[in-house]
Amino acid sequence: MHSLSKIAVTGPFTDINFGDYAMLVNNAYDLDARDLLLFSYDRNFLGALEKDYFQGFTIKTAEIVLKEGLKETFSNQKNLTPFDLLEYVANLDEITRSLNEVDILLVNGGGYFNGLWALPHRIERLVQIIIPMLVANRLKKKIVFSGNGFGPFGDSFDFFACLFGSLSNVEFACRDNLYSPIWMRQLGLAEEKLGFVPDDLLFINEKLTNFPACFTVSATDYVVLETYLPVEFIEKNIDVFSRFSKKIHTDYGLSVVFLPFNLDGGGVEQGRFLDLHLDNFEFVDISNKGYLPIQDAVKIIDNAKLVLSNRYHAVVLALRCAIPTVSVLKDVIGDKRYYYNKNRGVLDQVLSGANLKEEFYFCSDYLKALDHVADNFLEILSHQKENYKSVHLCNIRKLSRVRSDFIDRF
């Protein structure tokens, strides 16, 4: 399908976090959006993506420049209106001119409309994502959300209610049918404004999976490990990681491949430390490349026997490829509602109709998860493979049609 519209995109895709940037690239390919305006807070990283994936595309970037004081103001007064937020934009005329030239603003998928992103350490980035929505709304441009997770909103409930309630020509899309639509209805959003579309990475454009791989895994039989737990925590509990690595090799003949989804403390430092201390271990070091390429993530997970991770998008890729997966649900702002919502939400879609036993898919503690997988590996595989066999193909086809219908609206 060739896009007839000039599309602008806003979202957290300039975070060097696999789930965020990969969704942007995948959406651009699915939409065949050759003329893109991207709102960014890291143009350098967008340059790397442009070099690797956007040859033949016309890419323009725009940066939202904020005046000082927003973080301090928001810390004391969360109930800022759209008008208040726009007053903090230093280059509002420039943003208005750039959006005047587009037909549609796509709000890229992810999980960033929640109380966590409204905390002081993230509020400026959240507002940089929001500003194009507010300007597009002023210009009466169409605003379309792809697969987003919404909430929990916590102390920022009224802030998000004012934000979403102010948008007129808009289509919201929840990527789960669990808590997101409930939390959006609590904000006062009308039922007819709330749609559903699968996560932006549940279906990956074939052109992307056909890109040449940047990394080679030497192991043929392996489990994928991912975590961004603090290195100090891993060092303190290295015996548990070592026990896992030895047992998974001795009992099942498997190696461990560590696949980071982000740089530095987001995965690379953890992989580098484990590589020094574990046997039958392979570390995919993405530091020189600067990010985890889409085609490598898909290929490495698709060839794994099981994926054990903290990351939601590791679960999404595993479900896409029908690979058994165990997810460690992290606390966000004091509880597990955020992670449970998105992980259980995508599980319910891909395995709808199957007999799901949560203990074979989720753990609440990473150390316990390592022992749980090592001790119950064959039982976990058996349960999950039976579920894949019974419903996966049917559900994937159904969800693919929903995704196609969403793309066709452009």
Mean pLDDT throughout 162-173? 96
Which ranges in the chain are annotated with CATH 3.40.50.2000?
Answer: 211-394
Residue 122 has pLDDT above 80, yes or no: yes
Mean pLDDT throughout 27-37? 95
Residue 1 has pLDDT above 90, yes or no: no
Mean pLDDT throughout 114-137? 96
Strand boundaries in 199-245, DSSP class E: 222-225
| Of 192 and 250, the one with more pLDDT | 250
Cβ contacts of 78-85, under 8 Å, gap ≥ 24? 78/118, 78/155, 78/156, 78/158, 78/159, 79/158, 79/159, 79/162, 80/159, 80/162, 81/162, 81/166, 82/134, 82/137, 82/162, 82/163, 82/166, 85/127, 85/130, 85/131, 85/134
Q: Which pLDDT does position 3 carry in this prediction?
A: 45
Mean pLDDT throughout 353-370? 97
Residue 40 has pLDDT above 90, yes or no: no
Task: Find out whether 214 and 285 touch, Cβ atoms under 8 Å.
Answer: no
Residue 124 has pLDDT above 50, yes or no: yes
- Over the chain, what is the mean pLDDT? 96
Strand order in the sheet with 306-309: 281-283, 255-258, 222-225, 306-309, 325-328, 362-363
The model carries a pTM of 0.96
Beta-carbon contacts of residue 149 (< 8 Å; ≥ 6 apart): 110, 111, 113, 114, 174, 175, 176, 180, 338, 341, 342, 345
Distance CA 243, CA 247 (A): 6
Residue 359 has pLDDT above 90, yes or no: yes
Mean pLDDT throughout 349-377? 97
Lowest-confidence segment of 42-46, 116-120, 279-283, 316-320 by average pLDDT:
42-46
Task: Find out whether 78 and 163 touch, Cβ atoms under 8 Å.
Answer: no
Distance CA 20, CA 229 (A): 19
Residue 166 has pLDDT above 70, yes or no: yes
Task: Find out whether 182 and 341 touch, Cβ atoms under 8 Å.
Answer: no
Token readout for 197 is 């579309």
Q: Which CATH class is domain 211-394?
A: alpha beta
Distance CA 110, CA 108 (A): 7
Please, which pLDDT band fits residue 4 given cuts at 50, 70 and 90? low
Which CATH code for domain 7-208+401-408?
3.40.50
Instruction: Give how far the C-alpha of residue 192 lies from the chain's centroid of Cα atoms, to the nearest Å.
Output: 25
pLDDT, one tens digit per residue, over 61-94 is 999 999 999 999 998 998 999 999 999 999 999 9
Lowest-confidence segment of 12-16, 38-42, 281-285 by average pLDDT:
38-42
Token readout for 253 is 């003949």
Q: How many helices (H) and strands (E) does the chain have?
A: 18, 15
